[in-house]
Chain A
Amino acid sequence: MIGQRATLPHRPARRNVSQVMGQVLIALLPAIAVHAWLFGWGIFIQLALAIGFALSFEAVMLQLRQRPVGVYLKDLSAVVAAVLFALSIPPLAPWWVSGVGMFFAIIIAKQLYGGIGHNLFNPAMVGFAAVIIAFPLALTQWVIPRTLAQTVPDWNTTWVAILQGPQALGGTMDAISQATPLDQLRTGRLDGQTLSEIGIDPMFGLFGASGWEWLALAYLIGGLYLIGQRIITWHVPLAVLLGTIVITLPGWLMDPDLFRSPLQQLAAGSLVMCAFFIATDPVSGSSTPKGKIIFSIGVVVLTLVIRAWGGFPDGVAFAVLLMNMFVPLIDRYTVPRIFGHPKHKRDETRSVR
């Protein structure tokens, strides 16, 4: 009404937070489809579990923090974290894996920091890191992709594996599960084999990791859709993908036995997923244009270092957490030049004009 101060802008509302997160979920659909085709029903159950845990934990915490539960649940940010988490754990992982993962992701990494917009670390990656340290064995038992085993575990084996855990399946579990190509490379390296010797195994398929390259392609398609919808800018994904290629290409050209090919690096692990969905997480990522580039290069370098010498098969989660740690510092020292200010650092004590 007149006289009552309407807050700015007096404009029809453009997209709001839940629409932005909704677009991210839509971009993840192709990946879920390919995941289901490659590894069977597991992903749907993991998704249901993860989203269920995430929303319930968030609702409980919002109630405790006296915040309107309806509004914050509808912003879908917890659902996005849950989906990313479900996509990065093995399809047959028992239900307590996503329970613990979501506890760390939603309660500790997000709600303790003040809910959406305030968390310092990427919730999905905190959940994944906590889970990979807590249940190392469960996290290595991936299903053999359809491209290798021509079949995928049917509904009730999946259901039993998830509900009662792998030991309930007894022998069949070892038949249908196998380590990820990256894990295989790591164990091979530890035994001193050269890459070409390891590479003969059919699991490495055409270029890097049979079956997995389709998943990487699905993430690529989803990511391009996001850029098309202008939810994320192209700076971070390009920096991650280009960084990987630039860093691994010389090594591979020099000595294919010692260093892996860039294509294998991208196809095998979840670097493509990280490029489009994890490194571009707005809240825990850097907010300055220069900072975004430093953040992406840092993630790529740390991932490759952990993959080459580290103790974990795919270092993306830890690389992202390590870079999240330094984001407040990066933001502080990469403030962009302000319009009208000279190139060098602004003097702090200038007067108010």
Chain B
Amino acid sequence: MSVSVHGFFGGMPLADHKAMAMQRPTQSIPVPEALYLPLKGHRHQPLDLHQITDHLAVSVGQQLAAGQTLTRGMGDAHPRLHAPVAGTFLGIVSRPALKDMGHDVPCLHIQTDRTQAPKKLPDDYPPNTPLPEITPDELMDHLQRMGIVGLGGAQFPTSEKMRQASGGIDTVILNGVECEPYIACDEALMRHRPGTIVLGGRLLAKALGAKRLIVAVEDPLKDSHGSVSDGFLACIQPHPLDPALDIEFIEVPSIYPQGAERQLIKTLTNQEVPFDGLPKDIGVICLNVATAASVADAVIENTPLTHRLVSITGPGIQNPCNVYAPIGTPVTDLIHQAGGFNCPESEIDLIIGGPVSGHTVSDQRSPIDKGSLCILALTRADRPNSVGSMPCINCGFCVSVCPAQLLPQTLFKLASQGAHEKAHQMGMMDCIECGLCAEVCPSHLPLLDWYRHSKDQLRALDMDQRRQALAKERFEARNRRLEQRQAEREARRQARRARLEANSSAQSEIEAAIARARQKKEGES
């Protein structure tokens, strides 16, 4: 049955500048001198060093083959890491984190031998490659072993996502909607390997028992050599691949932030993911197209997730392009590969991610990780030449564009005054950090920065409250234990006094004690 496209509240079309990165063919970068694989766990449970050292599968100074497993045994939460290229392992070193300015992250340092040829973007599988027979559990374990995580940016382990969602899924959505300007890495992948993406989608759908597989793409993706949709239609239409599975290819209107998971699900299924729930609660699972491609590679070719497509683009880059780079490549090598900056570095603002919701890159030496979509270099000309921010005039432009249907100006007032609890009651945690409110704000207020700060404060507050509740519980349990012991001792003392006064005199007590002692001695001898 065809899927009608419903809109979502708010959002705004933005000029997408994608052609800038797509004008050159996808390149692969010569093997950089050193790789630093970041070990940061999911953003809010930072790994501490003890956890890492006892899960290392290699020792310092050991020679590594390409694709060799580096860490193991950390369960679903932290999928394994693999060596992208052959080289020697030089232990754990800390490098500046890419997104969190001023913080460092522990990385596995690999000294690469530069003689080997760089790995190219593998080409597409023919559409009719047979699906290998694999049970859902086998698939999930295999994905965890192959280190597959969400490549859309959140880096959520795919195996854990599938395990949480097992049973109760009827639609799998492959999210090819790259709604943020300048970012074109997914588009390059969709142009080059549509068959692989559909194959990965079918594998996931079969494992999850889904009846429908939807590939969603933005509608304007047309350029000289045919549109993305022709590639997909070519490998879906000719022959029904899978009678049980109904595969559809949908072009959604390109309104930012259409690519956000909740907004895309609302557009395709007209259902809203509950605020305290996951897409699986409404029988949907949404994965990035790059994740689907890496699932197909992992199952068919047995290759771990070691490389990813990154767009190196922006007006400040000499010749912007998409690069198929190994995980852990420092940003300097990527920029060098794209021809460096075309104006003095003091003019450049380097950003990881898109211009609307990206993070400032603190230090060029920091390595990219599995969730880095785009390195963007903006020049002073693109920066708002505003005189700085004016107070909020409550004009309501941001209320009309906010896709989460919040009141950004009220949240801003509360967050900037530090009233994070009240902001939480006004829905601060429902903000999807798309950055549209800051985009349309006539006072140029740094709204997204404030919301990210407030959300982190709320997460820290929540962590503290949970620890406090635990401490209170343990304190009361300890008090109960002490009182109980006190009461028992008291009861024993009472009983002894009662016995002494009530019937026999102290004498019989002593004789009974002597008899007991003699009996014990005979027992031993």
Q: Interface residues, chain A, CB within 8 Å of chain B?
A: 1-3, 5-17, 19-20, 71-72, 75, 77, 114-118, 233, 282-283, 285, 287-289, 331, 335-342, 346, 348, 350-353
- When C-beta atoms are compared, the residue in chain A nearest to B354 turns out to be A10
Q: Is the CB of A71 within 8 A of B394?
A: no
Give Cα distance in the complex from A75 to B443, angstroms: 10
Q: Is the CB of A71 within 8 A of B405?
A: no
- The distance from the CB of B241 to the nearest CB of chain A, in whole angstroms, is 34
**Residues A14 and B439 in contact in the complex (CB < 8 Å), given A117-B391, A282-B395:** yes
Give Cα distance in the complex from A4 to B265, angstroms: 37
Q: Is the CB of A8 within 8 A of B435?
A: yes
Q: Is the CB of A352 within 8 A of B391?
A: no
CB-CB < 8 A to B440: which residues of A?
Answer: 14
- When C-beta atoms are compared, the residue in chain B nearest to A337 turns out to be B405
Query: Contacting chain A: which of B50-58, B63-71, B156-164, B381-389?
Result: B381-389
CB-CB < 8 A to B347: which residues of A?
Answer: 1
CB-CB < 8 A to B192: which residues of A?
Answer: none
Query: Contacting chain A: which of B27-35, B214-222, B294-302, B355-363?
Result: B355-363
User: Which among A9, A14, A15, A339 is the interface contact of B275 at CB below 8 angstroms?
Assistant: A339
**Residues A10 and B396 in contact in the complex (CB < 8 Å), given A17-B390, A352-B429:** no
Give Cα distance in the complex from A169 to B360, angstroms: 69
**Residues A11 and B382 in contact in the complex (CB < 8 Å), given A350-B276, A352-B462:** yes
Give Cα distance in the complex from A15 to B414, angstroms: 25
Q: Is the CB of B448 within 8 A of A8?
A: yes
CB-CB < 8 A to A352: which residues of B?
Answer: 424, 429, 458-459, 461-462
- The distance from the CB of B438 to the nearest CB of chain A, in whole angstroms, is 5
Does any Cβ of A come within 8 Å of B425's Cβ?
yes
Does any Cβ of A come within 8 Å of B199's Cβ?
no
Q: Is the CB of B442 within 8 A of A3?
A: no
CB-CB < 8 A to B405: which residues of A?
Answer: 336-339
Q: Is the CB of A16 within 8 A of B394?
A: no
Q: Is the CB of B345 within 8 A of A353?
A: no
- The distance from the CB of A258 to the nearest CB of chain B, in whole angstroms, is 39
CB-CB < 8 A to B403: which residues of A?
Answer: 339
Q: Is the CB of A282 within 8 A of B393?
A: yes
Does any Cβ of A come within 8 Å of B427's Cβ?
yes
Give Cα distance in the complex from A75 to B444, angstroms: 13
Q: Is the CB of A10 within 8 A of B355?
A: yes
Give Cα distance in the complex from A116 to B390, angstroms: 9
CB-CB < 8 A to B400: which residues of A?
Answer: 233
Does any Cβ of A come within 8 Å of B348's Cβ?
yes
27 sample A-B contacts, Cβ–Cβ < 8 Å, listed by A number: A1-B348, A2-B349, A2-B350, A2-B361, A5-B101, A8-B447, A10-B376, A10-B378, A11-B384, A11-B439, A13-B386, A17-B443, A19-B442, A20-B393, A20-B395, A20-B442, A71-B387, A116-B393, A117-B390, A233-B396, A331-B410, A338-B275, A339-B272, A340-B277, A351-B276, A352-B429, A353-B429
Taking CB atoms and an 8 Å cut-off, the chain B residues in 305-363 that contact chain A are 345-351, 355-358, 360-363
CB-CB < 8 A to A340: which residues of B?
Answer: 262, 272-275, 277, 404, 430
Q: Is the CB of A9 within 8 A of B448?
A: yes
Give Cα distance in the complex from A351 to B394, angstroms: 29
The 10 nearest A-B residue pairs measured at CB: A13-B384, A117-B391, A352-B462, A340-B275, A7-B446, A282-B395, A338-B427, A10-B355, A6-B349, A8-B448
Interface SS, A side? loop
Q: Is the CB of A287 within 8 A of B394?
A: yes
CB-CB < 8 A to A346: which residues of B?
Answer: 425, 427
- When C-beta atoms are compared, the residue in chain B nearest to A331 turns out to be B410
Give Cα distance in the complex from A75 to B386, angstroms: 13
- The distance from the CB of A208 to the nearest CB of chain B, in whole angstroms, is 32
Does any Cβ of A come within 8 Å of B399's Cβ?
yes
Does any Cβ of A come within 8 Å of B255's Cβ?
no
Q: Is the CB of B356 within 8 A of A9?
A: yes
Give Cα distance in the complex from A342 to B277, angstroms: 12
Give Cα distance in the complex from A250 to B276, angstroms: 48
Does any Cβ of A come within 8 Å of B131's Cβ?
no
Does any Cβ of A come within 8 Å of B406's Cβ?
yes
Give Cα distance in the complex from A157 to B382, angstroms: 55
Chain B 259-284 interface mask (CB, 8 Å, partner A; 1/0) = 00010001000001111110000000
Does any Cβ of A come within 8 Å of B426's Cβ?
yes
Q: Is the CB of A282 within 8 A of B360?
A: no
- When C-beta atoms are compared, the residue in chain B nearest to A349 turns out to be B425
Q: Is the CB of A118 within 8 A of B391?
A: yes
Q: Which of A2, A288, A346 has the most CB of B within 10 A?
A: A2
- When C-beta atoms are compared, the residue in chain B nearest to A351 turns out to be B462
CB-CB < 8 A to A350: which residues of B?
Answer: 275-276
Does any Cβ of A come within 8 Å of B475's Cβ?
no
- When C-beta atoms are compared, the residue in chain B nearest to A77 turns out to be B393
CB-CB < 8 A to B404: which residues of A?
Answer: 338-340
Give Cα distance in the complex from A348 to B426, angstroms: 9
Chain B 68-92 interface mask (CB, 8 Å, partner A; 1/0) = 0000000000000000000000000
Give Cα distance in the complex from A8 to B441, angstroms: 11
User: Which among A117, A335, A342 is the interface contact of B394 at CB below 8 angstroms?
Assistant: A117
Give Cα distance in the complex from A9 to B351, angstroms: 11
CB-CB < 8 A to B483: which residues of A?
Answer: none
Does any Cβ of A come within 8 Å of B407's Cβ?
yes
CB-CB < 8 A to A348: which residues of B?
Answer: 425
CB-CB < 8 A to A114: which residues of B?
Answer: 391
Q: Is the CB of A335 within 8 A of B426?
A: yes
Give Cα distance in the complex from A307 to B505, angstroms: 105
- The distance from the CB of A305 to the nearest CB of chain B, in whole angstroms, is 27
Give Cα distance in the complex from A338 to B275, angstroms: 8
**Residues A5 and B356 in contact in the complex (CB < 8 Å), given A16-B443, A338-B404, A339-B272:** no
Q: Is the CB of B430 within 8 A of A13?
A: no
Give Cα distance in the complex from A348 to B425, angstroms: 6
- The distance from the CB of A334 to the nearest CB of chain B, in whole angstroms, is 10
CB-CB < 8 A to A13: which residues of B?
Answer: 384-386, 444
Q: Is the CB of A10 within 8 A of B351?
A: yes
- When C-beta atoms are compared, the residue in chain B nearest to A6 turns out to be B349
CB-CB < 8 A to B385: which residues of A?
Answer: 13
